[in-house]
């Protein structure tokens, strides 16, 4: 069975580029200032793994972690 | 008036590594080979011009400086021939350092979120189509002067609640501040004063008749003590929004169209797969990043192992960082569907461009509407493409022939 993924945004590193929200809106949301955080506890639903990695690899601040559980 | 100096012509550069100059015509016309040469020499290079200035040449060195607000101040953000006293022309938060920066930035962020931009999108599409209506029948157009330029200027005018018909006034101020002002302090100050007077009049109007726009938003904003902002802060931020929002996106849209005019394969692909346009916009932002920022070294330190001394400026070239092959495979190629793209076109760290979501929306809409109506276009061999000089790079004259080549 494939590993389950979780995403996490480091709020101290996020500067609100909003790339994650554009690329993986199912996994990330923005606050009133446009800074990102993961949806819920960050669990990546099956089928959205690629989007999790895509968001990570497009974050200019390297603020996103993808954790394999 | 000791800090008001007459403009001085710069001698042409012959030794780029020890004497670089971002206002040299060679840099203006084709900076990419210069950056490659500088990068091969050192992660940080220095020039005695501009009263002493460093330039980081790698993505890593640019990131280090952008994230180091202790040694690098934003109190001066344009590399110029003169160093007038700071604060007089401050435009918070872009000219602010911590701890003042964060509250000033947070004031500006809510009106520029992606959701806020979605509400503006229909107006942007209408603006693009009105502009296209104005020249499509002619079979030729200067796409910088008649299309790219007016999209951001009308967008920001719309958001600020000032007449879109004042566009040419704003464009002239920006030219004076960002291009002429590098060497001519008097012209820069004139433009700053005119802008402040202009906004003061609009603020005055809104005291009796409040409106639902960014000027009223800033007039009613409270600082962290719950007090209204000082007028100088409101004016500074308004000047910033107008200056930062215009020739930047104008340049990005212009460069994107310039690329598409010369690259039919990319153009055809975006017409066949319009859903690829947002990805393409990121790549065009990377390859043709318009904005170079600056910092002032306030405390001696090292960057990527290179010593830097206080009192020098730093030319913070996000465009050069975005061409670093260590960070981007095929960095000098436009890969229109590039999947991994941590480009720094909107800066890195706390000064990330407050208008990045606006700029992205404008670029997407501008390309979508153009390609829908003008799928075929090419550079006019009878015309000349010219590029802006200095801090913001983009085509200022972009002559196109429209329609299929005969």
Q: Tell me, what's the pLDDT at B183? A: 83
Q: Tell me, what's the pLDDT at B2? A: 38
- Residue B206: count of CB within 10 angstroms of its CB: 16
**Which one of A15, A30, A59 has the shortest CB-CB distance to B113?**
A30
> Could B357 and A34 be called an inter-chain contact, meaning their C-beta atoms sit closer than 8 Å?
yes
Q: What residues are paired with B53 via a beta bridge? A: B47, B313
Least confident among B5-9, B134-138, B283-287, B348-352: B5-9
Distances (CA, A) of B371 to B123, B131, B285, B290, B336: 18, 14, 18, 22, 15
**Domains of chain B and CATH, by start:** 16-402 (1.10.630.10)
pLDDT tens for each residue of B330-389: 999 999 999 999 999 999 999 999 999 999 999 999 999 999 999 999 999 999 999 998
- Can you give the residue ranges of every domain in chain A? 5-68
Long-range Cβ contact pairs of A44-49 (< 8 A, separation 24 or more): A44/A4, A44/A5, A44/A6, A44/A7, A48/A24, A49/A2, A49/A5
Q: Give A54's contacts in chain B (Cβ within 8 Å).
A: 339
Pairing of strands B53-56, B313-317: parallel
- Helix (H) / strand (E) element for B362: namely helix B356-373
Distances (CA, A) of B177 to A49, B78, B80, B173, B243: 47, 10, 11, 6, 8
> Could B113 and A17 be called an inter-chain contact, meaning their C-beta atoms sit closer than 8 Å?
no
The two three-digit tokens of residue B312, written as one number: 């020098």
- Residue B40: count of CB within 10 angstroms of its CB: 9
Residues across chain B: 406
**Which one of A15, A30, A32 has the shortest CB-CB distance to B352?**
A15
pLDDT tens for each residue of B228-282: 999 888 998 898 888 888 889 999 999 999 999 999 999 999 999 999 999 999 9
Distance from CA of A15 to the nearest CA of B (A): 6
> Could B352 and A58 be called an inter-chain contact, meaning their C-beta atoms sit closer than 8 Å?
no
d(CA B266, CA B271): 9
- SS3 category, B227: coil
pLDDT tens for each residue of B20-39: 999 999 999 999 999 999 99
Distances (CA, A) of B34 to A7, B57, B392: 40, 10, 17
Give chain B's end-to-end CA distance (angstroms, integer): 60
Judged against a pLDDT cut of 60, whether residue B45 lies above it is answered with: yes
Pairing of strands A64-68, A5-9: antiparallel
Which pLDDT band holds residue B87 (cuts at 50, 70, 90)? low
Judged against a pLDDT cut of 70, whether residue B63 lies above it is answered with: yes
Judged against a pLDDT cut of 90, whether residue B137 lies above it is answered with: yes
* Mean model confidence pLDDT for chain B: 94
**Does pTM top 0.90 for this prediction?**
yes
For tokens 């020249």, name the residue.
B135
- Helix (H) / strand (E) element for B47: namely strand B44-47
Q: Tell me, what's the pLDDT at B177? A: 85
Q: Give A34's contacts in chain B (Cβ within 8 Å).
A: 109-110, 112-114, 357
* Mean model confidence pLDDT for chain A: 96
Q: Give A59's contacts in chain B (Cβ within 8 Å).
A: 342
> Could A33 and B356 be called an inter-chain contact, meaning their C-beta atoms sit closer than 8 Å?
no
Judged against a pLDDT cut of 50, whether residue B115 lies above it is answered with: yes
**Averaged over B220-224, what is the pLDDT?**
87
**Averaged over B310-326, what is the pLDDT?**
98
Which pLDDT band holds residue B1 (cuts at 50, 70, 90)? very low
- Answer for the pair B386, B125: CB distance below 8 angstroms, yes or no: no
**Which one of A15, A22, A58 has the shortest CB-CB distance to B340?**
A58
Q: How many CB pairs under 8 A join A and B?
A: 50
> Could A62 and B356 be called an inter-chain contact, meaning their C-beta atoms sit closer than 8 Å?
no
Interface residue B329 vs chain A (CB under 8 A): no
Judged against a pLDDT cut of 60, whether residue B163 lies above it is answered with: yes
Least confident among B181-195, B202-216, B319-333: B181-195
Q: Tell me, what's the pLDDT at A1? A: 53
d(CA B223, CA B139): 52
Which pLDDT band holds residue B55 (cuts at 50, 70, 90)? very high
Q: Which residue has the higher pLDDT, B7 or A29?
A: A29
Interface residue B103 vs chain A (CB under 8 A): no
What letter would DSSP give residue B229? P
> Could A54 and B357 be called an inter-chain contact, meaning their C-beta atoms sit closer than 8 Å?
no
Q: Tell me, what's the pLDDT at B6? A: 55
Least confident among B75-84, B151-160, B321-330, B351-360: B75-84
- Provide the Cα torsion B208, B209, B210, B216; round to 10°: -80
Q: Give A33's contacts in chain B (Cβ within 8 Å).
A: 106, 109-110, 113
Q: What is the ipTM of this complex?
A: 0.96
Q: Tell me, what's the pLDDT at B194? A: 95
Q: Tell me, what's the pLDDT at B200? A: 95
Q: Where are the beta strands (DSSP E) in B240-346?
A: 292-297, 301-303, 306-308, 313-317
Fold of A5-68: Alpha-Beta Plaits (3.30.70)
**Averaged over B156-171, what is the pLDDT?**
93
């Amino acid at each position: 069975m494939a590993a389950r993924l979780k995403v996490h945004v480091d709020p101290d590193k996020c500067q609100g580029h909003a790339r994650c929200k554009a690329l993986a809106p199912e996994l990330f949301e923005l606050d009133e200032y446009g800074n990102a955080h993961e949806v819920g506890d960050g669990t990546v639903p099956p089928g959205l793994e690629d989007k999790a990695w895509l968001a990570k690899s497009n974050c200019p601040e390297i603020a996103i972690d993808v954790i394999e559980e | 008036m000791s800090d008001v100096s007459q403009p001085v012509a710069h001698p042409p550069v012959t030794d780029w590594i020890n004497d670089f100059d971002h206002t040299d015509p060679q840099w203006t016309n084709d900076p990419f080979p210069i950056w490659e040469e500088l990068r091969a020499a050192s992660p940080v290079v220095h020039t005695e011009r501009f009263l002493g200035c460093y330039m980081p040449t790698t993505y890593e060195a640019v990131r280090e400086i952008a994230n180091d607000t202790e040694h690098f101040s934003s109190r001066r953000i344009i590399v110029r021939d003169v160093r007038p006293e700071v604060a007089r022309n401050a435009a918070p938060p872009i000219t602010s350092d911590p701890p003042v920066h964060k509250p000033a930035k947070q004031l500006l962020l809510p009106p520029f979120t992606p959701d806020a931009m979605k509400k503006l999108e229909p107006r942007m599409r209408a603006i693009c189509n009105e502009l296209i209506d104005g020249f499509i029948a002619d079979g030729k157009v200067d796409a910088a002067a008649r299309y790219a330029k007016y999209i951001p200027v009308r967008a920001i005018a719309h958001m600020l609640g000032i007449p879109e018909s004042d566009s040419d006034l704003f464009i002239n101020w920006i030219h004076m501040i960002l291009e002429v002002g590098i060497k001519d302090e008097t012209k820069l100050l004139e433009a700053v004063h005119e802008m402040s007077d202009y906004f003061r009049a609009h603020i005055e109007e809104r005291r009796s008749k409040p409106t639902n726009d960014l000027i009223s938003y800033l007039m009613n904003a409270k600082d962290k003590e719950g007090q209204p902002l000082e007028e100088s802060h409101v004016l500074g931020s308004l000047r910033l929004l107008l200056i930062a929002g215009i020739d930047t996106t104008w340049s990005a849209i212009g460069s994107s169209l310039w690329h598409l005019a010369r690259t039919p394969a990319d153009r055809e692909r975006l017409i066949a797969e319009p859903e690829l346009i947002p990805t393409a916009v990121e790549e065009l932002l990377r390859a043709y990043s318009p904005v170079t920022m600056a910092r002032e070294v306030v405390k001696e330190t090292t960057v990527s192992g290179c010593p830097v001394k206080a009192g020098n400026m730093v030319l913070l070239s996000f465009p050069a960082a975005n061409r670093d092959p260590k960070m981007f495979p095929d960095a000098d190629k436009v890969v229109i569907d590039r999947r991994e793209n941590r480009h720094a076109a909107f800066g890195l760290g706390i000064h990330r461009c407050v208008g990045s979501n606006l700029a992205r929306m404008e670029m997407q809409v501008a390309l979508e509407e153009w390609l829908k109506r003008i799928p075929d276009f090419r550079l006019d061999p009878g015309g000349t493409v010219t590029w802006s000089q200095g801090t913001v790079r983009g085509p200022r004259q972009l002559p196109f022939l429209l329609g299929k080549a005969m």
